[in-house]
């Protein structure tokens, strides 16, 4: 087989591998976004439900941690513009203020 044939096979294999990595990265980012949406929805439901049995501070902290994970993952991927995420996910100010603040976890 000519040397160029090997190079083409290697390049195609690399392209397929790169494509798979990009697909997995996009899927992971989507999962992280959905986790944030679920945490924010749980906080909204809590606020709309009188006598809720969950601690509101715990829900705010959970949402902040999910937002932090999303921001860090996006930054790692080189996606530097996060300003639109506030409106896309409708992240409340109190959640934004807790991002990166980690308290003692309860058992």
- The structure tokens listed for 26 are 């996009």
Mean pLDDT, the chain, as a whole number? 84
Sign of CA dihedral 33, 75, 87, 103: positive
Q: Is residue 45 part of a domain?
A: yes
Q: Is residue 85 part of a domain?
A: yes
Contact 44, 60 (CB under 8 A): no
Selection from 96, 106, 77 nearest residue 36 by Cα = 96
Tally the domains of the chain. Answer: 1
Q: Is 77 helix (H, G, I), strand (E, B) or coil?
A: coil
pLDDT 10s digits, 59-104: 999 999 999 999 999 988 888 777 788 888 999 999 999 998 887 6
Q: Is residue 93 part of a domain?
A: yes
Tell me which residue has tokens 């996006």.
74
Instruction: Round to whole Å and give the CA distance between 60 and 97.
Output: 10
pTM over 0.95: no
What letter would DSSP give residue 75? H
Q: Is residue 77 part of a domain?
A: yes
Instruction: Round to whole Å and give the CA distance between 41 and 43.
Output: 5
Q: Is residue 103 part of a domain?
A: no
Higher pLDDT pick, 43 / 25: 43
Structural domain that includes position 9: 3-98
What letter would DSSP give residue 49? S
């Amino acid at each position: 087989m000519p040397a160029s044939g090997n190079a083409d096979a290697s390049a195609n294999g690399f392209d397929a591998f790169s494509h798979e990595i990009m697909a997995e990265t996009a899927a992971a980012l989507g999962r992280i976004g959905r986790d944030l949406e679920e945490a924010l929805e749980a906080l909204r439901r809590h606020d709309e439900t009188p006598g809720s049995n969950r601690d509101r501070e715990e829900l705010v902290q959970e949402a902040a941690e999910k937002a932090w994970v999303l921001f860090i993952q996006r930054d790692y991927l080189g996606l530097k513009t996060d300003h639109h995420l506030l409106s896309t996910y409708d992240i409340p100010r109190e959640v934004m203020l807790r991002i990166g603040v980690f308290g003692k976890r309860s058992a």
